Amino acid sequence: MNYPKLFEPLQVGELSLRNRIVMAPMTRSRATDDDRVTDLHRLYYQQRANAGLIVTEGVHPSADGKGYNRTPGIYSPQQVDDWRAVTEAVHGEGGLIACQLMHCGRVGHADNKAVGTEFLAPSAIAARAEIFTEGGMKPMPVPRAMTLKDIARVIDDYRKATENCMAAGFDGVELHAASGYLPAQFLASESNLRDDAYGGSIDNRLRFIREVLGVMIDVAGAGRVGLRISPGNPYNDHVDATPEDTYGALLDLAESLGLAWVHAIRMPSTGIDSLQLTRDHYRGVLIGSDSFDAQEADSCIANGDVDAVSFGRAYIANPDLAQRFAADAPLNKMDKKTIYAGTGAAGYTDYPAMDTGA
C-alpha cells in the first residue's frame, strides 16, 4: 500500500469513514429547470462512492438561495425524493454522503433563477464580480438588505433543508461558509454594514452563522454537521478587514458547538495558513482541500496537519479515485470544456474506470 494513512478509517462525528479520501463539493450545473437531480446525478455519485465521504455539490436550501444556473435544491418534496435515490445508490456501494447547503445570497444573476425569487444579503451592496449565465458573463445585482424577519425566515429555510436532507437519507450536512456566499457575506466586514445585532463586531457578524448552525444541529445533531471555510479567499468579492480574527472566532464557534468536521480550503496567496488556523481553534476532524495529490495528502495526514483530504478535480475525471490511489495507477485528465456542460453524460458519468484486466 503506497498511501497507508489515506486508507486508515476515520471517525467523523457520528460517521465512520472507511478511508480518509473525501470527494470535495463541486457544482456541476446539470440539474433540471426546477432544480432537481436526475438519474445522471445518481450514477455520478454512485460511481464515486469509493470515497470515505462524498460532499455533494452546493445545494440551495430555498429558491432564493440559488445563484448559478442548473444547480439543485432541497426545498420541495420531489427534490427530496430525487436526492433519496442518490443517497441510496451511494449507500448501496458502502459509501457515505453529506449534502452541502449553499445559499448564494447576493451572488448570482436573475437569469439563473426562478421568476419572483430575490437576492437577499446582509446589506444592499453588490458583489463587484461577474457570473456565468446562458447569455454570457453578467454583473451581479444589488441585493435587498435582509430585514430581521427575512433573517428569521432564511434560518428557518436552513432548518427545513436540514430536515429534508435527513429525510432524503444523507449522512450529514455541510454549511458552505466559504467563497463569498450568504454566510460569508454576513461574516465579512465589507459586505455586512448592518447596525443591528447581525452587524458590527465580529461576534455580531457571526450571529447569522451561529443561528444557522444551531438549527442544523437541532435537526441533525452536531455529530452530522460540518462547516466549509476559506479564510481570506477574495472570491465573489469576499473582503474582510481582519480575516484571521474573524475566522478564528468562527472556528472557536465550531469548537464550542462540537461540529463533526471543518473542511478548510487552503489558499497560500491569502497569506493565511487556513489548516494551521483551524488546528489552533478547533479540535475536531479537519478535512484539508485544494491541490493535494495522494502523496502530499498521505504525508499531511501522517504528520497531523489534517485528518482527511478532499479531492475535487481529480474526482471529476476519476470515478474510481480511491482504487487508483490504492494501486498507484495513473489518473485520467479532466476535460475543462465539459465541467459545467449541459445536462448530458459527457464529461460527467463517462470518465472510464481504470482497466483492471477483469
Q: Note the residues at the interface with ligand FMN (CB under 6 A).
A: 24-27, 57-58, 100, 102, 176, 178, 228, 265, 289-291, 311-314, 339
Q: Which is nearer to ligand FMN, 123 or 231 (CB)?
A: 231
CB atoms within 10 A of CB 357: 4
Catalytic residue among 44, 45, 158, 181: 181
Task: Return all residues near 292 (Cβ < 8 A) that are at least 6 apart.
Answer: 300, 309, 310, 311
**The C-alpha cell of 139 is what?**
454583473
State the minimum distance, in angstroms, from the CB of residue 25 to ligand FMN: 4
Residue nearer to ligand FMN on the CB measure, 101 or 194: 101
* 98/217 with CB nearer ligand FMN: 98
What contacts 201, CB < 8 A, 6 or more positions away?
none
Q: In the bound complex, what is the minimum distance in angstroms from residue 357's beta carbon to ligand FMN?
A: 28
181 part of the active site: yes
Q: Which is nearer to ligand FMN, 64 or 174 (CB)?
A: 174
Residue number closest to ligand FMN, CB atom: 312
Give 27 or 47: the residue with its C-beta nearer to ligand FMN: 27
Known catalytic residues are 181
